[in-house]
Amino acid sequence: MATLHPFDEALRLEAAGSDRPDTWLGHSSPGYWNMVGPFGGTTAATALRAILLHPALLGEPVALTVNYAAAMAEGAFTVTARPARTNRSTQHWTVELSQDGDAGGAVMTATAVTAARRETWSQNDTPMPAVTLDDASGRLRFATSEWTNRYDMRAVRGIIPQVWDGSGVDSLTQLWVRDDPPRPLDFPALAALADVFYPRVWLRRATRVPAGTVSITTYFHADSRQLAECGKGFLLGQAKAQAFRNGFFDQAAQLWSEAGVLLATSTQLVYYKE
């Protein structure tokens, strides 16, 4: 019997039963644990996995928005994905993840759009930065978060500050990244990779303050064929904030294949404390 990749183990879902056709059951993974809960990228990927498992699915993902309503606890969870409307070439989804014992209700809500893609004129208007794997430093290690051990991340610039002295200059990070162990790229993995960047406020201020993602939207520009062409290779990720204000900042990120194809872009809103 083949051993599941740790990412697929973390995203393993079982149907809740014939009387609940939109609902799946899962369990948090210690391998992707962050400081106070699971890595948000795997939570986003779980929402997408539930959609991709649905028998009514039309097409492939083009957009996913995930809102983190509360910290997810260790243990079992329920995720429900429902097609809200299906058109001729697009399908709109709502997703909710909840846990028994959480009196507040959902710990994550999401919306998504899938579509039956067709070949059209296409163009990358945001070219990949002129950097190579040879420009990267050694593999990054973060002792405080287990999930970071599941990714091979090699920074070109914007490494996490080595000294927290308030001397930050900008919030731009560029790094090469792939699953560890290497795994063929698919939509759930790409959704998770869009969230691998540490908080921009840490880099901009060189001050480690509490921070956490409130909402992330990922746009998928590649289809499954283009993802398959990436194989188990590295992606180049770039992330930068645009404004920090009154306890929240945004982050814009891009992910390119080694061949220079822009696979996905994302924006997220992050809460931070002084």
| Residue 127 belongs to a domain | no
Q: Rounded to 5 degrees, what are φ and ψ at 94?
A: -125, 140
Query: What confidence category does residue 79 fall into, taking pLDDT thresholds of 50, 70 and 90?
Result: very high
Does some domain include residue 33? yes
Let me know how long the chain is: 274
152 assigned to some structural domain: yes
Residue, of 1 and 113, whose pLDDT is higher: 113
Residue 138 has what pLDDT? Answer: 86
Output the CA angle 51-74-101, nearest 5 degrees: 85
* Structure token digits, residue 95: 């997703």
Count structural domains, the chain: 1
Q: Which domain holds residue 94?
A: 6-116+132-272
Say if 184 falls within a structural domain: yes
Mean pLDDT of the chain: 95
CATH number of the domain within which 257 lies:
2.40.160.210
pLDDT: is 183 or 141 the higher one? 183
Q: Is residue 124 part of a domain?
A: no
In the prediction, which pLDDT does 274 show? Answer: 83
Question: Is residue 122 included in any domain, yes or no?
Answer: no
Scan for tokens 């000294």, then name that residue.
163
- Looking up tokens 């540490």 gives 198
For residue 243, is it within any domain? yes
